[in-house]
């Protein structure tokens, strides 16, 4: 049979290896997953900023379309028609209409609008030619031109495009945009729509830390990602996640998952621990059982061979003196007693194990039980040179108990005291009353029990495997029976022992509530 140690190591290896591999794999794939998640998130932020820029283009493209419509409805449209167009688009400061050579430049201005930037400089015939070529090629290009800011604080952009139907000398149209108004009227609603509950979006003017507009309070330093606005490259469009930052979310998730994986590992380890313990317990029990069988065989064989030997000697009538004959009879009877006790113990034990042991309780006096047992042991104690000290209290209340069972308990204790004493053969038996308890002490000055074995001696089959006890035969059942009997009587058993100095067992029985009469001792 393999030792529990080897089995434990094999088990640990079998479980630790896969656990270790699993935890390592989980940790790796967790961090991979988290990195993937973070990169997806980053791309999402990028896409958000892109969609807002895209929106700005789409809106201005729409305006170019509208102007196409105005021109198509009335070629060489009147300033009033453009004035109405301007009225409906607050982000526009003015409209510029020009021919291909920029010889005639017509500016339609929003009423009340002052301080327009110089428009002629950025408009070059070459620029208009480029737009017209594109238009001929079948698509419209809107070309932004940054205007000088000399006349005002706001960013000015001129969006140039060639109309669909160049008419009445209008070959290019320019839209003068006011950045602040554009942000407020066009971009702000889009930012709100995109931000929802998940993001904070903001637009920052060049060189400012506070936003020109943001969906929630936002500082430039908090931005997770920022991009220039295509239309107004000096303006910054930025976003940050709402609440925790993505790193915090990812780290928190990573921590939680790691904790779960580690917890799982610990649970598995605890499982291994439990399995190992129960295997070790089963193995020790199996070992103790096999020791028990060999011990019982020995215990049976010794008295039987003694009985046989003395009986045969007597039968052959070889013993001359009466005294010797009486001594032989005593030995035969003592060994028969020993056999009876052994068989009784085994039978009681098997009844207890099968749950069939019952106790017939009746009022009894503990002193009487003790005296009966001492009478049984009188001769053996004397022949083995034991000094016996008996102190029985005379004020003991009656107990409710099973006489036979209690005798068996006391016999086992005295038997052990005799078995495990060599240097100083001494037996002390005392009864006393402690409050609502009747107490029985059985003490010896024998081998004693090692401290580490004290809480195991009441286990079935357990025997101390060192010293004198090792050489003394026994079944390991005696104290298990005593323990069971005492517990069945509602009592407790205590043991005090010093190695090489002796042992004292103390049985405590509760006095029944109705007990009054003091029986004679």
Residues that bind ligand ADP (CB under 6 A): 412, 416-417, 420, 444, 446-449, 457, 462-464, 469, 474-480, 503
Tell me the residue number closest to ligand ADP, measured at CB: 474
| Least gap, CB of 5 to ligand ADP (angstroms) | 24
Kindly tell me which of 239 and 417 has the beta carbon lying closer to ligand ADP: 417
| Least gap, CB of 404 to ligand ADP (angstroms) | 18
Kindly tell me which of 160 and 485 has the beta carbon lying closer to ligand ADP: 485
Residues 6+ apart with CB under 8 A from 122: 145, 147, 158
Kindly tell me which of 303 and 474 has the beta carbon lying closer to ligand ADP: 474
| Least gap, CB of 444 to ligand ADP (angstroms) | 5
Complete edge-to-edge strand list for the sheet that includes strand 105-109:
105-109, 92-98, 172-178, 156-161, 143-147
| Least gap, CB of 310 to ligand ADP (angstroms) | 24
Question: Does the CA dihedral 248-251-257-260 come out positive or negative?
Answer: negative
Kindly tell me which of 93 and 483 has the beta carbon lying closer to ligand ADP: 483
| Least gap, CB of 438 to ligand ADP (angstroms) | 21
| Least gap, CB of 300 to ligand ADP (angstroms) | 13
Kindly tell me which of 398 and 477 has the beta carbon lying closer to ligand ADP: 477
| Least gap, CB of 426 to ligand ADP (angstroms) | 11
| Least gap, CB of 481 to ligand ADP (angstroms) | 8
Q: Supply angle C-alpha 213, 218, 219, rounded to 5.
A: 110
Kindly tell me which of 212 and 493 has the beta carbon lying closer to ligand ADP: 493
| Least gap, CB of 472 to ligand ADP (angstroms) | 7
Kindly tell me which of 51 and 297 has the beta carbon lying closer to ligand ADP: 297
The CA–CA distances, whole Å, from 457 to 88, 400, 466 equal 100, 27, 13
Query: Rounded CA gap, 276 and 2, in Å?
Result: 13
Task: Using DSSP, state whether 164 is helix, strand or coil.
Answer: coil
| Least gap, CB of 476 to ligand ADP (angstroms) | 4
Question: Strand 172-178 and strand 236-241: pairing?
Answer: unpaired
Query: Do residues 245 and 253 lie in contact, with contact meaning Cβ atoms separated by under 8 Å?
Result: no
Q: What is the DSSP string of 208-228?
A: -SS-SEESS---GGG-SEEEE
Query: Do residues 447 and 457 lie in contact, with contact meaning Cβ atoms separated by under 8 Å?
Result: no
Kindly tell me which of 7 and 352 has the beta carbon lying closer to ligand ADP: 352
Kindly tell me which of 60 and 475 has the beta carbon lying closer to ligand ADP: 475
Task: Using DSSP, state whether 303 is helix, strand or coil.
Answer: helix
Kindly tell me which of 109 and 412 has the beta carbon lying closer to ligand ADP: 412
What H or E segment, with its residue span, contains residue 80?
helix 79-87
Beta-ladder partners of 417: none
Helix, strand and coil content of the chain, in percent to the nearest 5, comes to 50, 20, 30
Query: Rounded CA gap, 428 and 505, in Å?
Result: 10
What H or E segment, with its residue span, contains residue 414?
helix 403-419
No. of helices (H) and no. of strands (E), the chain: 11, 16
Kindly tell me which of 131 and 370 has the beta carbon lying closer to ligand ADP: 370
What H or E segment, with its residue span, contains residue 437?
strand 437-445
| Least gap, CB of 268 to ligand ADP (angstroms) | 37
Instruction: Please name which of 158, 162, 160, 159 lies closest in space to residue 138, comparing C-alpha atoms.
Output: 162
């Amino acid at each position: 049979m393999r030792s529990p140690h080897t089995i434990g190591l094999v088990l640990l290896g079998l479980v630790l290896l896969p656990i270790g591999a699993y935890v390592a794999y989980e940790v790796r794939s967790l961090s991979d997953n988290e990195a993937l998640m973070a990169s997806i998130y980053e791309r999402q932020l990028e896409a958000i900023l892109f969609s807002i820029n895209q929106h700005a283009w789409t809106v201005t493209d729409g305006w170019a379309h509208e102007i196409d419509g105005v021109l198509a409805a009335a070629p060489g449209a009147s300033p009033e028609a453009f004035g109405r167009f301007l009225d409906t688009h607050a982000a526009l400061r003015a409209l510029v209409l020009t021919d291909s050579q920029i010889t005639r430049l017509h500016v339609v201005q929003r009423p009340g609008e002052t301080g327009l930037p110089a428009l002629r400089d950025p408009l070059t015939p070459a620029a208009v030619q480029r737009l017209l070529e594109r238009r001929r090629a079948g698509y419209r290009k809107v070309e932004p031109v940054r205007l000088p800011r000399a006349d005002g604080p706001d960013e000015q952009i001129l969006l140039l495009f060639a109309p669909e139907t160049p008419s009445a000398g209008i070959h290019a149209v320019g839209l003068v945009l006011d950045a602040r108004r554009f942000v407020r009227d066009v971009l702000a609603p889009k930012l709100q729509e995109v931000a929802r509950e998940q993001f904070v979006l903001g637009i920052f003017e060049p060189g400012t830390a506070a936003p020109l507009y943001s969906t929630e309070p936002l500082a430039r330093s908090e931005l997770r990602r920022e991009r220039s606005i295509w239309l107004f490259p000096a303006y910054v469009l930025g976003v940050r996640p709402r609440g925790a930052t993505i790193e915090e979310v990812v780290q928190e998730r990573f921590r939680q998952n790691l904790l779960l994986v580690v917890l799982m590992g610990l649970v598995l380890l605890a499982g291994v621990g439990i399995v190992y313990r129960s295997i070790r317990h089963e193995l020790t029990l199996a070992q103790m059982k096999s020791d028990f069988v060999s011990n019982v065989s020995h215990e049976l064989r010794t008295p039987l061979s003694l009985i046989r030997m003395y009986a045969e000697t007597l039968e052959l009538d070889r013993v001359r003196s009466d005294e010797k004959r009486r001594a032989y009879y005593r030995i035969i009877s003592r060994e028969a007693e020993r056999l009876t006790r052994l068989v009784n113990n085994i039978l009681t034990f098997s009844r207890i194990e099968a749950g069939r042991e019952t106790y017939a309780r009746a009022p009894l006096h503990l002193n009487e039980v003790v005296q009966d047992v001492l009478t049984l042991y009188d001769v053996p104690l004397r022949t083995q040179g034991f000094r016996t000290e008996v102190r029985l209290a005379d004020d003991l209340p009656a107990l409710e108990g099973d006489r036979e069972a209690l005798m068996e308990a006391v016999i086992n204790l005295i038997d052990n005291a005799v078995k495990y004493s060599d240097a100083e053969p001494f037996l002390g038996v005392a009864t006393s009353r402690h409050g609502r308890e009747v107490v029985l002490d059985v003490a010896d000055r024998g081998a004693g029990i090692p401290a580490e074995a004290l809480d195991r001696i009441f286990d079935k089959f357990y025997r101390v495997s060192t010293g004198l006890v090792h050489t003394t035969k026994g079944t390991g059942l005696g104290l298990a029976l005593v323990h069971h009997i005492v517990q069945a009587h509602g009592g407790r058993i205590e043991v005090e022992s010093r190695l090489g100095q002796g042992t004292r067992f103390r049985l405590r029985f509760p006095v029944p509530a109705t007990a009054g009469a003091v029986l004679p001792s």
